[in-house]
Chain A
Amino acid sequence: RKEVEQDPGPFNVPEGATVAFNCTYSNSASQSFFWYRQDCRKEPKLLMSVYSSGNEDGRFTAQLNRASQYISLLIRDSKLSDSATYLCVVNHPSYGKLTFGQGTILTVHP
């Protein structure tokens, strides 16, 4: 089983749609959780950290369920510029290493 698993998609949605991505992780000792965004042929950029109580940043909402080892990202009112690969990232309990999911591809079309 992979340490971090995501639905690779692709997700193709129209502008204005709401889209949700899911992610599961296998190591229950993981402590920090993130969503990164990666554009084609670019480096990943931190989108948001994910907190146990859930957190929101504008159109983006992240949720964490430690009992189920499940993380989600909700994007409301999708924009064309949201088209990218979204990476679910979990820290490894030792050495502060990050483990990346394979990414979920999102394409927002007019």
Chain B
Amino acid sequence: GAVVSQHPSWVICKSGTSVKIECRSLDFQATTMFWYRQFPKQSLMLMATSNEGSKATYEQGVEKDKFLINHASLTLSTLTVTSAHPEDSSFYICSARVVDRGYEQYFGPGTRLTVT
């Protein structure tokens, strides 16, 4: 199966600092990766679609200057939460789509961010 990794798995940071989360496809190339956020007892909400070599497409209500996405290679996408606030504390999950498997997405293990 397609394996997606994320790093770090959890992070605690202070308000005002920036945090970078990495998402890697380990055994396949992912031209498209997705970033989701999940608050407790809620479902996944898509934040943005990350395409290799081009600018990310953000969902309505997601600040592109606050959540910086870079998809510099076919196996790596990064999400940087800039000037983090406590309300940014959440579970951030990336996924990658395998090109020849339709719309199936494979998810990374997630990153739990706590902003104090």
Contacts and interface: CB of A to CB of B under 8 A. Distances in A.
B109 A97 contact: no
A97 B112 CA distance: 23
B109 A95 contact: no
A62 interface: no
Residue with the highest number of chain B CB atoms closer than 10 Å, among A31, A44, A91: A44
Contact residues of B: prevailing secondary structure = strand
Interface stretch (A13-21, A65-73, A100-108): A100-108
Q: How many A residues are at the interface, by size bracket?
A: 20 to 34
A45 interface: yes
B109 A42 contact: yes
Given A44-B107, A102-B42, A95 B57 contact: yes
A96 B49 CA distance: 10
B103 A96 contact: yes
Closest 7 CB pairs of A and B: A43-B107, A32-B103, A91-B103, A100-B43, A102-B43, A100-B44, A43-B110
17 contacts: A31-B103, A32-B102, A43-B93, A44-B44, A46-B104, A49-B104, A87-B44, A95-B57, A96-B97, A97-B46, A98-B34, A98-B103, A99-B46, A100-B44, A100-B45, A101-B43, A102-B42
